[in-house]
Amino acid sequence: MDVMEAIYNRRAVRAYTDQPVEKTAIEALINAAIQAPSSMNEQPWAFAVVQDQQQLARWSERIKTYVLRRLKPDSPLVKYRDMLASSDYHVFHRAGTLIIICSRPDTHNGAEDCSLAAQNLMLAACSMGLGTCPIGFARPWLSQARIKRSLGIPEAYAPVFPVVAGYPGGETPPVPRRAPEMLFRQ
């Protein structure tokens, strides 16, 4: 699959099979991620991988509770309240692999660079027949000091981009895209 095909075929997959993602595939995804450009070549990324579906299911419940307790009435996340309150909703979409891309401290553009690495990872996954989905709901929960300690993430590191990976459990249709808003063209 060439890069343009991966760009146009990558989807946020929200249904996965039970087939585990092999260690070699995870390593290939991370190696693709670290090929991303980074500000001043700082390469600020570090990775944490969780492949325990029972643990992810427990975390899903904790994350939903955490987000709902902190949800403010003016938050754009209010529209997800019912979904988050549902016992059927799984934050990680029942995927078997969570990859947390973290930024080392004291970097110039660590969060942006980690996001570039995440895009590489997701495009590589698409080319390998894997699905991925960014899990924004998880980031605030994963950023807590006690959770970082439990994962072995150093205190000063910041979880920037949690993303699940797995084998898609069906087709994910494309999402219509708006035309680009052009602010300036010379």
Task: State how many domains the chain has.
Answer: 1
pLDDT > 70: percent of the chain:
100
The predicted model gives 139-147 an average pLDDT of 97
Q: How confident is the model at residue 17 (pLDDT cuts 50, 70, 90)?
A: very high
pLDDT > 90: percent of the chain:
98
CATH of the domain at 105: 3.40.109.10
Q: Tell me the CA distances in angstroms from 105 to 26, 115, 155, one per residue in order.
A: 24, 15, 9
Task: Give domain status of residue 153, yes or no.
Answer: yes
In the DSSP assignment, the letter for residue 12 is: B
Q: How confident is the model at residue 185 (pLDDT cuts 50, 70, 90)?
A: confident
Q: How confident is the model at residue 115 (pLDDT cuts 50, 70, 90)?
A: very high
Provide the residue range defining the domain that includes 141.
3-166
Task: Give domain status of residue 102, yes or no.
Answer: yes
Task: Give domain status of residue 183, yes or no.
Answer: no
Task: Give domain status of residue 182, yes or no.
Answer: no
Q: Sign of torsion, CA 7 13 16 22?
A: positive
Task: Give domain status of residue 179, yes or no.
Answer: no
